[in-house]
Chain A
């Protein structure tokens, strides 16, 4: 079963709006990572948040982590058409395995 599950599966917004994607997981983690994938291409790392952190920012990206609810959110502010991609959360436990969710397909309409 998937450790990380993203919600929603698909999201369509207008340029300039904010996009929020959520990720839930089942077991305790060491860190949670968000990746972006343009169609059929390799994943690109966006942000890593450790289990003792609650919020991180990187440019227009804001990630929160609530370990009590076993959930994380990725917020993209002032979205652009170039943000159109699939976004994946991945959780890493005390071992070395990294488990990905199925992703959220974000479409930003010009």
Chain B
């Protein structure tokens, strides 16, 4: 089944404790992206990647890192999480940048 998976789905952590949210797609898509969704603000793009070893900042990249060492994986790294990073995070992939995106199920993060 073609899908985008994220892990974990739910995470509670404390300020400053490094964490990684994994994202994997099995559709051989070149384009992958991370978003955060907050009430009243819609979805905002954090980082995106057009292919292996090619990443670029979205609208709200501060406090986040990403890597794209393999085509199928695009982990989101929070080196030192802060409470303002409490949010619902979505990973998405697409065959290329001009196409529709397939979204993962979301990761709900709470930073205390």
Q: How far is the CB of A56 from chain B (nearest CB, A)?
A: 12
Q: Which residues of A contact B101 (CB under 8 A)?
A: 33, 43, 45, 98
Whether A42 contacts B90 by the Cβ 8 Å rule is: yes
Whether A97 contacts B42 by the Cβ 8 Å rule is: no
Assess A97 versus B40: contact at CB under 8 Å? Given A40-B106, A42-B105, A43-B103: no
Q: How far is the CB of A108 from chain B (nearest CB, A)?
A: 22
Interface of B is mostly: strand
Whether A42 contacts B103 by the Cβ 8 Å rule is: yes
Interface extent on B, as a size class?
A: 20 to 34
Whether A44 contacts B103 by the Cβ 8 Å rule is: yes
Q: Which residues of B contact A48 (CB under 8 A)?
A: 99-100
User: Which single residue of chain A is at the shortest CB-CB distance from B50?
Assistant: A96
| A96 touches which of B88, B97, B106 (Cβ 8 Å) | B97
Query: A102 in the interface, Cβ–Cβ < 8 Å?
Result: yes
Give 7 CB contacts A-B under 8 Å: A2-B42, A31-B98, A40-B106, A43-B90, A96-B56, A98-B33, A100-B45
Binding site for A on B (CB under 8 A): 4, 31, 33, 35, 40-45, 48, 50, 56, 58-59, 88, 90, 92, 97-106, 108
